[in-house]
Chains A and B, each alone.
Chain A
Amino acid sequence: MRLKLVPTETKIDFFLRSKLTIGLSVVLIVASVVAFFAMGLNYGIDFRGGSVIRTATPAPVEVSLYRQVLSGLELGDFSVTEVVDPGADLTDTNRNSTMIRIEQTSDNPETQNDLIAEVKSALDSEIDGISYLQTDSVGAKVSGELVQAGVIAVVLAVFAVLFYIWLRFEWQFSLGAVAALVHDVILTIGVFAVLQIEFNLSIIAAILTIVGYSLNDTVVVFDRVRENLRRYKARPLMEVLNLSINETLARTMMTSVTTLLALVALYVLGGDVIRGFTFAMIWGVIVGTYSSIFIASPILLRLGVKRDWDKDNGAAGTQYADIDA
């Protein structure tokens, strides 16, 4: 007896409701863009400059006590949040942690540093046994550059894979795949805007991994499309696409589920430091799987594909297929 996520042979028509699915994606993309501009991202200090202090105390301390101590100082804007991490009890790493964020008040890093020293000495005298797990301070100059580097990295990655797929397949495939991953990236940024989860450097890493994963999925479907286009030369493109998606559906689901399994374990147990990162990844795997079926393929269908693969050079798409023991 085998565990099967999808029945052995499926004949789902993935284009039956393509207007609905494309429409849904368009709505979500618009919503993401609106959320991005209307609500903005909750940038971490990597991108905004400022300081973060993470404290630990032997016994739980009310956030209001922190606020009270800190409002006595001239800090400008600051925020205090308790680190809530139910998973930490399971791994025995609960430390009654609190995060204090202090906005950048001046361009001079020394001023910022004096502030941190002031905060620490005030907390030391008011809260017994307090210790500091982490203190970060990033100047505005660097944070601006980090934003730039992050955006460049994502754009570069998109173009690099656009080129690679164009090389290995055809330009239509390339556009379909890139549309799918732009879709994923926008929706990921959108969910961060809506939920106001902190957006920091590691989220950029997550987005780039999503780009990789989403492509991985799309490429597997496309690889099958390429193969089936050669096999069924006379069948309409839509049928071939449907057949290919159905044939790879079991694999798509299996891989998504195993990856999600690993990510959920990390999300629950991996500690709050990387929770934002794993959240982005989980979201990315879900939308990435969706988009490789419901975005990449419809676009391929719309653009049409050259059918006479074997004529010009059969080697273009099959050069790796012959690798064998």
Chain B
Amino acid sequence: MLHFPMWKQTLIWLICLAGLAFALPNGFYTTVEQHNDAIAALETGVAETPEIAAARDAWPEFLPSGIVNLGLDLRGGAHVLVEVNVKDVYQDRLDAMWPAVRDVLREQKELIGSVRRQDSGENELRVRIGNAEAMRDALIAVNTLTRPVVSLTGAGARDFEVIVSGDEIVMTLSEAERIATDDRTMLQSLEIIRRRVDEAGTREPTIQRQGADRILIQVPGIGSAEELLTLIGRTAKLTFNEVVRQVASPDEAPGLGNIIVPSVDEGEGYYVLKRAAVVGGDQLTDAQTDFDSNGNPAVSFRFNPTGARLFGAHTSANVGQLFAIVLDDEVISAPRIQTAILGGSGIITGRFSIEESTQLAILLRAGALPAGIKVLERRTIGPELGADSIAAGKFAAVVAFAGVLVFMILSYGVFGVFANVALMFNIVLLFALLSVIGATLTLPGIAGIVLTLGMAVDANVLIFERIREELRRAKGPARSIEIGYEKATSAIIDANVTTLIAAAILFMMGSGPVKGFAVTLGLGIITSVFTAIWVTRLMVVIWLKTRKPKSIVV
């Protein structure tokens, strides 16, 4: 054990030095954070201003610049868990099939007869055909519209199931397609939420899928969960529909293929609209805050070529008619078409405040959520509380650290000093690891670090007590130390592996702050075993070689 190869010694020192280098940025948290922000801003093409340049140059380029992310509970911000109503999409899918079904059946008009869509229950499309005798042909025709679904479970499954009920054809989504649709809906929702949050320009948001139909959104620095939800909570489904007529009550029968939609302005009652939209928000390429001719806030938009063509065709064919701009099942405004609008751009007016129009523009640019969402959990943490927690946590950590240092020196003398140096390296390495992997430090995470402090000395205590025992058995210093390290190792490994198992399970099962605790606890165990076994040993070996003591007291 006194024989400690040079490469091993060098390696240990190198790891410690690397730890110092990578932990260093955390000591200058604000400076480094502004430096990183400045670089990120410049990368996205923001023009260089003196402030940005100053922030960038405040931290030297050659030093590592990774810092520990502060969790929501330390920085303040909002946490929202939402559930996506994936089933919302099913009916849309079926509605979208109707024109194709109609066209394919009309191709064989002589044989099949009239084709009419029937009122149906949820998540199905019912079509009655005139000549029930030709049902077989109709079925074959409709079946040509279905496609095979590629999935792990439903081999050979098709996207739609088509069955016959009397003289009606009933189309539903197949199980395999539902699963595939759900997955698509979730991916789309995630993407759109991410875009909306990014558009709002906040720092390091976390947007994660959880389980089958949930999304967790954490945005540091935002004022409140409500603010976050106004951004992500709206479906923001924009459509332009043909107005059939205006009615006073929502109870009137709209007629087949039509829907009744309330107006945002309560005085104006309800509109009966054609269910099939002329153009949808998905055809927009841009939306900006603007002002109408009276100087009121409005949102101007631009269609893509397809949208422009559809919009142009509709407006030129319906001059003098009303058309409705519908956002999330409410008519925002229903202007009369004065002339054909062929340029593919327009303006939405309504009773907006500037904030509302800005937000609507963001929502329209980011796109509509494919399905509605339901909020399951919302949490807001004020920045003051986070700052308090950091202050209290730091203070507690310093006191705990000082306490342990003093206690170790009192108990083990010079060996206690070795253990303390190792303990400091332990904290340094832990912060270095957390910074490098970009882990998030939470309040329980700080507790994990403080706990690591207490437990990190355990490995050294095990070794030192063992050395004491061996010394009592009248062995020489070198021999005792050697046996001490050797015999203590199995206990150290076993004891720490069990704690590591608990940390791993916490990490897998836990959420939010608990996960942060598991990360610091787990990494703390790894660094503490390293520093306790290798760093102290290195110091003890060097000490033994230089001092060559005849006897030692541990």
Contact = CB atoms under 8 A, between A and B. Distances in A.
Interface of A: 2-5, 8-9, 54, 56, 87-88, 90-93, 95, 109-110, 113, 117, 131-139, 141-142, 146, 149-150, 152-153, 156-157, 160-161, 164-165, 168, 201-202, 204-205, 208-209, 211-213, 215-217, 219-220, 223-224, 227, 247-248, 250-251, 254-255, 257-263, 265-266, 268-271, 273-274, 277-278, 281, 317-318, 320-321, 323-325
Interface string B380-416: 1110110011011101110111011001101111000
B491 A219 contact: yes
B395 A90 contact: yes
A83 B257 CA distance: 59
Contacts of B485: 324
B514 interface: yes
Interface string B442-464: 01101100110111011001100
Contact of B514 (A134, A202, A271, A273): A202
Contact of A215 (B380, B493, B495, B537): B495
Going nearest first, the 3 A-B pairs with the smallest beta carbon separation are A259-B454, A212-B502, A262-B454
B19 to A, nearest CB: 20
A153 B506 contact: yes
A325 B4 contact: yes
A278 B374 CA distance: 35
B388 A219 contact: no
A137 B498 contact: no
A87 B259 CA distance: 62
Given A2-B410, A270-B396, A142 B509 contact: no
Most B-side CB within 10 Å, residue of A9, A201, A215, A262: A262
Given A224-B491, A255-B458, A262 B375 contact: no
B454 A212 contact: no
A55 B81 CA distance: 23
Nearest to A222: B494
Contact of A135 (B379, B400, B458, B513): B379
Contacts of B462: 220, 251
Contacts of B212: none
- What is the predominant secondary structure among interface residues of chain B facing chain A? helix
Interface string B499-525: 111110110111111100110010000
Given A91-B388, A153-B510, A278-B447, 20 more contacts: A4-B411, A5-B411, A9-B472, A91-B396, A110-B375, A113-B226, A133-B381, A138-B376, A139-B376, A142-B376, A150-B509, A212-B521, A213-B455, A219-B491, A258-B453, A259-B455, A261-B400, A265-B399, A269-B395, A318-B490
B496 A216 contact: yes
A137 B225 CA distance: 10
A208 B465 contact: no
B403 A205 contact: no
Nearest to B393: A270
A281 to B, nearest CB: 7
Given A135-B224, A266-B396, A205 B491 contact: no
B497 interface: yes
B209 interface: no
Most A-side CB within 10 Å, residue of B380, B458, B462, B494: B494
B77 to A, nearest CB: 11
Given A87-B392, A133-B382, A152-B509, A223 B491 contact: yes
Nearest to A319: B490
A254 B399 contact: no
A254 B48 CA distance: 57
9 contacts: A134-B385, A135-B225, A153-B506, A212-B521, A255-B461, A258-B454, A265-B450, A274-B444, A321-B487
Contact of A273 (B407, B410, B443): B443
A315 B399 CA distance: 43
Most B-side CB within 10 Å, residue of A8, A132, A255: A255
Nearest to A253: B461
Given A2-B413, A220-B491, A265-B403, A136 B379 contact: yes
A254 B224 contact: no
Interface string B152-170: 0000000000000000000
Given A91-B392, A274-B444, A220 B495 contact: yes
Contacts of B385: 54, 133-134, 273
Contacts of B403: 261-262, 265
A215 B443 contact: no
Contacts of A217: 495
Contacts of A8: 468, 472
Contact of A271 (B375, B393, B503, B553): B393
A266 B447 contact: yes
A142 B396 contact: no
Contact of B501 (A139, A164, A202, A261): A164
A9 B473 CA distance: 12
A323 B493 CA distance: 10
A216 B382 contact: no
A227 B487 CA distance: 9
Contacts of A88: 388, 392
A169 B472 CA distance: 28
B452 to A, nearest CB: 9
Interface in B464-489: 465, 468-469, 472, 485-487, 489
B1 interface: yes
A205 B454 contact: no
B422 to A, nearest CB: 13
